[in-house]
């Protein structure tokens, strides 16, 4: 059977080929790192998670079955690993208290410029980053995972469903809720109001 | 949720709705001002995600990862595969074959050895007394038959 290059490389990794593993890392580690960064909101932790995810990929290469796209399989590993990390209570507390900006800080970032409050121009890159970070923080883990794969990796709903082991209908709902929450957060920041958190 | 179509709007913006479903949403959008506003907001938000700064991983990530992989302890499969390498397998197989061959030869020797009853009584007497002396000359081996008995003593297999 003709496999795509990623799958071929993964099958070589399963046979112990470290060069094939390095090749896969070169191709995909930036995507995994971006995903981890958006998932946990911390650059150093995202680097660690990315390393862990690829080590896990290497160790479990022999159990890989080329029935799905390699990237889907990779993001399933990445999502599960990040979810496990997020479920570790001490890490979640640390992230929420130390890494994300406080609501009032984000509100204070808003400095309306001469262009006024036009929604498409009012936020600086830093403000936008902070607003998105806060919105992602308030999402459920699965909403955050689905949103990140969709918005930052451009993955199709079907592939996201496979990565999350969920139905496409569920993914459609997750992405809608997440996108709307981010949209409302940006909208509120632009309006100079701080919305109530959607979740405790 | 204020409108039954609202949850479909993001999938519609993302081009993820199947054609019949898409047509229904488009028809609804033409009549629902609230959904029109939500659709604009969603579309703007999706576009703004591209403005976020890209996260760039550390350039040392590859080297660090490969070092971690190299330091991993071997799995049992890798250990087993190591044992099957020709450099290990051939000498081991040769040794095993030699042991098996030796056992077979020894077994055959025992099977083919005659029982004590079949031996000549004179030969048995020589054999029985051989352990008492270290010099064969004292036995007064004069005949060729006696010499032959001594030469084949090892085949007796019994003291």
Is the same domain home to A127 and A70?
no
Q: What angle do CA B145, B151, B153 make, to 5 degrees?
A: 100
User: Which of 11-30 (A) contact B at CB < 8 A?
Assistant: 16, 18, 21-22, 25-26, 29-30
Is the same domain home to A27 and A91?
yes
Copy the structure tokens of residue B112.
Answer: 């083919």
* pLDDT 10s digits, B51-81: 888 888 888 999 999 999 988 887 666 667 6
**pLDDT average, residue stretch A64-80:** 89
Tell me which residue in A46, A59, A173 faces B55 most closely, judged by beta carbons.
A46
With left for phi above 0 and alpha for psi between -120 and 50, is residue B98 left, alpha or beta?
Answer: alpha
**pLDDT average, residue stretch A166-188:** 95
Are A176 and B9 in contact (CB < 8 Å)?
A: yes
The pLDDT of residue A193: 64
Are A152 and B53 in contact (CB < 8 Å)?
A: no
Q: Is the pLDDT of residue A150 over 90?
A: yes
Is the same domain home to A132 and A187?
yes
Domain that holds residue A155: 117-199
B45 neighbourhood in chain A, CB within 8 Å: 179, 182-183, 186
Q: Does A57 touch chain B (CB under 8 A)?
A: no
Is the same domain home to A13 and A80?
yes
Secondary structure element (H or E) that encloses residue A34, with its range: helix A18-40
* pLDDT 10s digits, B29-43: 999 999 999 999 999
Q: Is the pLDDT of residue B142 over 80?
A: no
Residue A106 lies in a domain: no
The pLDDT of residue B73: 81
Is the same domain home to A129 and A163?
yes
Residue A112 lies in a domain: no
Is the same domain home to A122 and A161?
yes
The pLDDT of residue A110: 43
Is the same domain home to A162 and A92?
no
The pLDDT of residue A173: 96
Overall domain count for chain A:
2
The pLDDT of residue A12: 93
Is the same domain home to A152 and A74?
no
Is the same domain home to A159 and A67?
no
Are A51 and B68 in contact (CB < 8 Å)?
A: yes
* pLDDT 10s digits, A23-32: 999 999 999 9
Tell me which residue in A34, A176, A180 faces B55 most closely, judged by beta carbons.
A34
Report the range out of A185-194, B19-28, B127-136, B146-155 with the highest average pLDDT: B19-28
The pLDDT of residue B55: 84
Are B10 and A132 in contact (CB < 8 Å)?
A: no
Residue A108 lies in a domain: no
How far is residue B36's CA from residue B42's CA, in Å, rounded to a whole number?
Answer: 10
Tell me which residue in A26, A58, A125 faces B69 most closely, judged by beta carbons.
A58
Is the same domain home to A4 and A88?
yes
**pLDDT average, residue stretch A85-89:** 74
Is the same domain home to A92 and A177?
no
* B112-121, Cβ contacts within 8 angstroms, sequence gap of 24 or more: B113/B155, B113/B156, B113/B157, B116/B156, B116/B158, B119/B156, B120/B149
Which of A48, A67, A98 corresponds to the end of one domain? A98
Residues in contact with A129: Cβ distance below 8 Å, sequence separation at least 6, in sequence order: B52, B53
The pLDDT of residue B12: 95
Task: Kindly report the average pLDDT of chain B as a whole number.
Answer: 77
Best of B38, B53, B62, B69 to substitute, by most chain A Cβ atoms within 10 angstroms, is B69
Residue A111 lies in a domain: no
Tell me which residue in A47, A157, A182 faces B58 most closely, judged by beta carbons.
A47
Identify the CATH number of the domain in which residue A46 sits.
1.10.1740.10
Residue A60 lies in a domain: yes
Identify the CATH number of the domain in which residue A145 sits.
1.10.10.10
Is the same domain home to A89 and A125?
no
What is the complex's ipTM, to 2 decimals?
0.78
With left for phi above 0 and alpha for psi between -120 and 50, is residue A41 left, alpha or beta?
Answer: left
Are B69 and A55 in contact (CB < 8 Å)?
A: yes
* pLDDT 10s digits, A112-149: 444 444 444 557 778 888 889 999 989 999 999 999 99
pTM: 0.68
């Amino acid at each position: 059977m003709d496999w795509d290059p990623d799958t071929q490389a993964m099958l070589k990794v399963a046979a112990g080929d470290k060069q094939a593993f390095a090749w896969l890392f070169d191709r995909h580690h930036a995507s995994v790192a971006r995903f981890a960064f958006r998932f946990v909101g911390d650059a150093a932790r995202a680097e660690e998670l990315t390393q862990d995810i690829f080590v896990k990929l290497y160790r479990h290469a022999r159990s890989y079955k080329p029935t799905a796209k390699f990237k889907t399989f990779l993001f399933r590993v990445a999502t599960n690993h990040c979810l496990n990390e997020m479920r570790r209570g001490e890490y979640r507390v640390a992230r929420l208290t130390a890494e994300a900006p406080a609501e009032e800080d984000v509100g204070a970032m808003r400095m309306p410029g001469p262009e006024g409050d036009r929604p498409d121009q009012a936020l600086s890159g830093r403000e936008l980053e902070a607003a998105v970070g806060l919105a992602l923080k308030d999402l459920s883990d699965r909403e955050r995972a689905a949103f990140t794969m969709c918005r930052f990796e451009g993955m199709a709903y079907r592939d996201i469903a496979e990565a999350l082991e969920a139905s496409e209908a569920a993914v459609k709902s997750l992405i809608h809720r997440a996108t709307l929450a981010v949209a409302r957060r940006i909208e509120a920041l632009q309006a100079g109001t701080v919305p109530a958190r959607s979740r405790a | 949720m204020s409108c039954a179509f609202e949850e479909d709007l993001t999938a519609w913006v993302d081009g993820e709705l199947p054609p019949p479903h898409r047509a229904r949403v488009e028809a609804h959008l033409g009549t629902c001002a609230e959904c029109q506003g939500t659709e604009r907001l969603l579309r703007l938000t999706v576009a703004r995600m591209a403005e976020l700064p890209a996260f760039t991983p550390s350039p040392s990530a590859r080297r660090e990862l490969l070092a971690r992989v190299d330091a991993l302890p071997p799995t049992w499969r890798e250990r087993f595969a190591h044992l099957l390498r020709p450099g290990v397998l051939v000498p081991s197989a040769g040794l095993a074959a030699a042991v098996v061959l030796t056992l077979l030869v020894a077994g055959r020797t025992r099977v083919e050895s005659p029982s004590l009853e079949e031996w000549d009584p004179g030969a048995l007497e020589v054999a029985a007394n051989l352990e008492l002396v270290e010099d064969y000359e004292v036995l007064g081996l004069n005949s060729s038959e006696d010499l032959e008995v001594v030469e084949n003593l090892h085949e007796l297999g019994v003291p």
